[in-house]
Structure 1
Amino acid sequence: MSIVKIDKKITGYSIQKELPERAPAVTSVAPAVEPVVEPEIEHMHENVGRPEMLLGSTYKIKTPLSDHALYITINDIILNPGTDHEARRPFEIFINSKNMDHFQWVVALTRVISAVFRKGGDVTFLAEELKAVFDPQGGYFKSGGRFMPSLVAEIGMAIESHLKMIGMLVDEELSAIQKQILAEKREEYETEKGTKSAEGEFPESAQLCMKCYTKAMILMDGCMTCLSCGNSKCG
């Protein structure tokens, strides 16, 4: 305790009150913010369990080789539903028909294709592989002049159509200008030959296009051109 010496005359005095204790300074602490954990993106793989309900699409195949049609059903699974990563992927395939001649290999084919679907990854190669199968006894033409090299190839076409429908394949459609040019070539060809084909059909004298397997290849201006897909021998 320090001593204070007073040199002047004391004229008055008062008792000093004790100062109130200062409250400790309050430091505001922001609550801890938990990091947002993004849900893991689910991809198709062989361990994905089959849900109770799957979305399915059925495709009818009618060939001149049989009196009975084939019905191809492809069921899809929805991955990451309700998120930005939602995706529809094929999960299984079934082929049914009253014709029992092909029962054995049809069952084997559906099991193999379904296994590939559930394996995940890029399964679009299946369509191309099946479309490349040729029947040694010869294929057949469908309405509109479309040639099918085999029944297996038509199953591949159905799978390809389904993959395009769910967005796994992009349909390479002709532009409006290309369609207009092909329509003009077709009209000029028919005028020159003096024939008129029905709507949706191609000229009877047209040859088979080996790109789209449609009987729509005609000779115009010294160049073979397909009226269906635009494929041309002249580039």
Structure 2
Amino acid sequence: MIEIKQNITAAKVQSAEEKTEANTPENESVNLNENTKRPEMLVGSTYKIKPPVSDHALYITINDILLNQGTEQEIRRPFEIFVNSKNMEFYSWIVALTRVISAVFRKGGDCTFLVEELKAVFDPKGGYYQRGTGIFMPSVVAEIGHIIETHLKTLDMLPGNEIDTHQQAYIQQKKAAAKAEADANATNNNSDFPATATSCNKCHQKAVVLLDGCATCLNCGDSKCG
């Protein structure tokens, strides 16, 4: 029992957040949950994708919240996501998608399951190959999943793309075999046909040269002049 010997001149109702902060030891880390308030400023990254199914690029921004700042338990966790584009065709489902993903982020806990769920979404009209990497994307949603995967890897929430020793040896073996085959083909072409010869549409050999102003294949005899 606490005895109050002075007159009470003011009172304040303590909020749930203040109670939590007051009861949290200084050395105990604070985890992200649905009660975590959004700070005035968040740090994030913006990724650009240009799917061939859209006339305009999509800009995906993922903002992170910094927890336990200045302590040994300091971590960054995704807090919200935005997708912006000039293409209004995607507007309705983009708004719905970003709100759901942001809600999952703010819930705390393991959010890495979002990656596989999004990457498994297939467009009934067909997918496409990502520019620059050649990776097949079954849908725009799947490519957003790849972006989230990349971002989570920067936060060490997912392991990086590490190739084990056996895979590295196998890849090096295939590279060496491909190089040897290319060198052999180059040697054969140089010995049989001129170095300036181009590929023949009929026999697919690099044996087409100009003879009397007419493109003629030295391998199969095919000629543009008949």
TM-score bucket (shorter structure): 0.5 to 0.7
Quote the Cα distance in structure 2 between the aligned partners of 1:49 and 1:82.
18
1:122 aligned partner, one-letter code: D
Larger of the two Rg values belongs to structure: 1
The TM-score, its normalising length taken from structure 1, stands at: 0.63
Q: Report which of the two has the higher share of helix.
A: 2
Over the aligned positions, Cα root-mean-square deviation in angstroms equals 2.0
The 1:39/1:139 distance shift into structure 2, 3 A limit, reads same
- How does 1:94-133 map onto structure 2 within 5 Å? 94-133=82-121
Residue 181 of structure 1, CA deviation: 3.2
Does the residue aligned with 2:88 lie in a helix, a strand or coil? Answer: coil
The 1:175/1:91 distance shift into structure 2, 3 A limit, reads same
Quote the Cα distance in structure 1 between the aligned partners of 2:185 and 2:162.
27
1:174 alignment partner, one of 157, 163, 167: 163
Does the residue aligned with 1:123 lie in a helix, a strand or coil? Answer: coil
Does the residue aligned with 2:118 lie in a helix, a strand or coil? Answer: helix
1:165 aligned partner, one-letter code: T
Deviations 1:161-183 (A, max 9, x none): 00000111111311466334303
The 1:72/1:41 distance shift into structure 2, 3 A limit, reads same
Deviations 1:93-112 (A, max 9, x none): 00000111010000000000
Percent identity, please. Answer: 62
- How does 1:67-146 map onto structure 2 within 5 Å? 67-142=55-130, 143-146=132-135
Quote the Cα distance in structure 1 between the aligned partners of 2:167 and 2:142.
28
Deviations 1:136-186 (A, max 9, x none): 111001233210011000000000000000111111311466334303213
- How does 1:207-218 map onto structure 2 within 5 Å? none
2:91 aligned partner, one-letter code: F
Residue 72 of structure 1, CA deviation: 0.3
Quote the Cα distance in structure 2 between the aligned partners of 1:139 and 1:101.
17
The 1:78/1:122 distance shift into structure 2, 3 A limit, reads same
2:119 aligned partner, one-letter code: K
Deviations 1:114-152 (A, max 9, x none): 000000000000011000111111100123321001100
- How does 1:190-205 map onto structure 2 within 5 Å? 191-192=180-181
1:139 aligned partner, one-letter code: G
Between stretches 77-86 and 142-151, larger displacement belongs to 142-151
Deviations 1:8-31 (A, max 9, x none): xxxxxxxxxxxxxxxxxxxxxxxx
> Runs of 5+ in structure 1 lacking a partner?
1-36, 197-235
Aligned length: 160
The 1:195/1:104 distance shift into structure 2, 3 A limit, reads farther
Aligned to 2:176: 187
The 1:150/1:111 distance shift into structure 2, 3 A limit, reads same
Quote the Cα distance in structure 2 between the aligned partners of 1:107 and 1:68.
17
